[in-house]
């Protein structure tokens, strides 16, 4: 499998898992996952990351993501990070008011979204066996 697809698949897999990790810790209630604290955003991030995971795993495994597949990953990654940052901003206001603590799931979701966003362009083609990066086909 191409290194780019592996990085995108790992980022999307982490994003899927983050939906069920604690997004906040509330006094008297304990940890609250994304599906419990804001189900619409949690399910949207799960759907976005699941689609990216499928895109990364389907198709020609030895070829990098290109064209529409790469654009889909970039847009889904931006949306996933946006969901996480939006929720973090809203929860920070609640932290000030009532002792709510942010959970690791939101931070990991934001990072996973960034990995999904930048991996299609950030992981360059590597010549097999050489360990040397080569320029993309369009610049040769």
CATH 2.70.98 holds for 3-139 = no
Instruction: Supply 37's token pair.
Output: 């604290």
Reported as a single tens digit per residue, the pLDDT across 23-72 is 888 778 788 888 887 788 999 999 999 999 999 999 888 888 888 888 99
Q: What is the pLDDT of residue 86?
A: 92
Instruction: Supply 16's token pair.
Output: 């899927």
Reduced to 3 states (helix: H, G, I; strand: E, B; else coil), residue 77 is: helix
Tell me how far apart the alpha carbons of residues 29 and 118 are, in angstroms, rounded to a whole number.
37
Tell me how far apart the alpha carbons of residues 79 and 90 are, in angstroms, rounded to a whole number.
16
Q: What is the pLDDT of residue 124?
A: 53
């Amino acid at each position: 499998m191409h290194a780019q697809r592996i990085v995108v698949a790992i980022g999307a897999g982490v994003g899927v898992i983050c939906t069920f990790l604690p997004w906040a810790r509330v006094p008297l209630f304990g940890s609250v996952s994304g599906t419990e604290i804001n189900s619409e955003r949690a399910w949207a991030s799960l759907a976005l990351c699941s689609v990216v995971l499928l895109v990364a795993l389907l198709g020609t495994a030895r070829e990098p993501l290109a064209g529409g597949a790469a654009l889909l990953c970039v847009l889904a990654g931006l949306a996933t990070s946006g969901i996480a940052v939006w929720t973090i901003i809203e929860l920070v206001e609640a932290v000030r008011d009532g002792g709510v603590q942010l959970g690791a799931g939101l931070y990991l979701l934001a990072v996973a979204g960034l990995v999904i966003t930048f991996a299609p362009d950030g992981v360059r083609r590597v010549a097999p066996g050489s360990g040397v990066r080569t320029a993309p086909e369009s610049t040769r």
